[in-house]
Structure 1
Amino acid sequence: MPRRQFATYTSVLTVAMIAFILGFPFLLSALARAIRCAPDTCGAVGLVFGLYGRMLGVLIYGTAMLTVIFARCRRAGLSSWWVVASLFWLLAARDVLMAGLNFWAVGFSLGILSIRWPITLIFFFVFVTFLSLWKGSDEDGSEAQPGSWKIAQVSMALSAIISAVMSIPLFVTLAWIAGLRLINPQSAIMTIQYSLYVRIGTQFITLTTVLWLLLFVFAGALIRTLVSQRRSDLQVPPTRFSRPAS
Structure 2
Amino acid sequence: MPRRRFATYTSILTVAMIAFILGFPFLLAALAGVIRCSPDTCGALGLVLGLYGRMLGVLIYGIAMLTVISARCRCAGLSSWWVIASLFWLLTARDVLMAGLNFWAVGFSLGILSIRWPVMLIFLFVFVAFLSLWKGSDEDGSEAPPRSWKIAQASAALSAIISAVMSIPLFVTLAWIAGLRLINPQSAIMTIQSSLYLRIGTHFITLATGLWLLLFVFAGALIHILVSQGRANLQLPPTRFSRAAS
Q: TM-score, normalised by structure 1?
A: 0.95
Q: Which amino acid aligns with 1:223?
A: I
SS of equivalent to 2:159: helix
Q: Distance in 2 between matches of 1:106 and 1:65?
A: 24
- Unmatched tracts of structure 1, length 5 or more: 240-246
Structure 1 Cα separation of the partners of residues 209 and 234 of structure 2:
38
Indicate if the aligned counterparts of 1:162 and 1:207 stay in contact, CA closer than 8 A.
no
Say whether residues 1:92 and 2:97 are aligned partners: no
Tell me the SS of whatever aligns to 2:198: strand
1:243 matched residue in structure 2: none
Gaps of 5+ in 2: 240-246
- Structure (1 or 2) with the larger CA radius of gyration: 1
> 5 Å matches for 1:86-165?
86-165=86-165
Structure 1 residue matching 2:106: 3-state secondary structure = helix
More deviation in 62-71 or 230-239?
230-239
Q: Which moved more, 1:116-125 or 1:172-181?
A: 172-181
Indicate the SS of the match to 2:141.
coil
Q: Distance in 2 between matches of 1:223 and 1:69?
A: 19
1:200 maps to what in 2? 200
Distance 1:71 1:145 in 2: 23
Secondary structure (helix, strand or coil) at the match of 2:52 reads: helix
Structure 2 distance, partners of 1:216, 1:14, is 22
The whole-number CA distance in structure 1 between the counterparts of 2:71 and 2:26 is 34
TM-score (norm 2): 0.95
2:188 corresponding residue in structure 1: 188
Task: Trace 1:23-42 onto structure 2 (pairs within 5 A).
Answer: 23-42=23-42
Q: After TM superposition, list the pairs within 5 Å mapping 1:47-66 onto structure 2.
A: 47-66=47-66
Query: What's the CA shift for 1:145?
Result: 1.0
Seq. identity, %: 87
In structure 2, what is the Cα distance between the partners aligned to 1:199 and 1:229? Answer: 40
Quote the RMSD (CA, aligned, Å).
1.2
Worse-matched range after superposition: 32-41 or 160-169 = 32-41
Deviation readout 1:92-132 (Å, 9 max, x if unpaired) = 11110000000000001111111100000000000000000
One-letter amino acid of the counterpart of residue 9, structure 1: Y
Partner of 2:19: 19
Deviation at 1:193, TM superposition (A): 2.0
Distance 2:148 2:181 in 1: 45
Instruction: Spell out structure 1 runs of 4+ moving beyond 4 A.
Output: none
The code of the aligned residue for 2:45 comes to V
- Going from structure 1 to structure 2, the CA distance change for 1:69 and 1:238 (only over 3 Å counts) comes to closer
**Amino acid paired to 1:177:** I
> Is 1:233 paired with 2:242?
no
For residue 52 of structure 1, what is the amino acid of its counterpart? Y
Q: Which amino acid aligns with 1:149?
A: W
Counterpart Cα distance in 1 of 2:212 and 2:186: 26
Offset of residue 197 of structure 1: 1.7
Match of 2:72 in 1: 72
Question: Match for residue 242 of structure 1?
Answer: none
Residue 235 of structure 1 and its aligned partner are, at CA, apart by 1.1
Q: Which moved more, 1:191-200 or 1:82-91?
A: 191-200
Task: Give the equivalent residue in structure 2 for 1:217.
Answer: 217
User: What CA distance in whole angstroms lies between the structure 1 residues aligned with 2:4 and 2:41?
Assistant: 48
Letter aligned with residue 191 of structure 1:
T
SS in 1 for 2:204: strand
- Equivalent position of 1:244 in the other structure: none
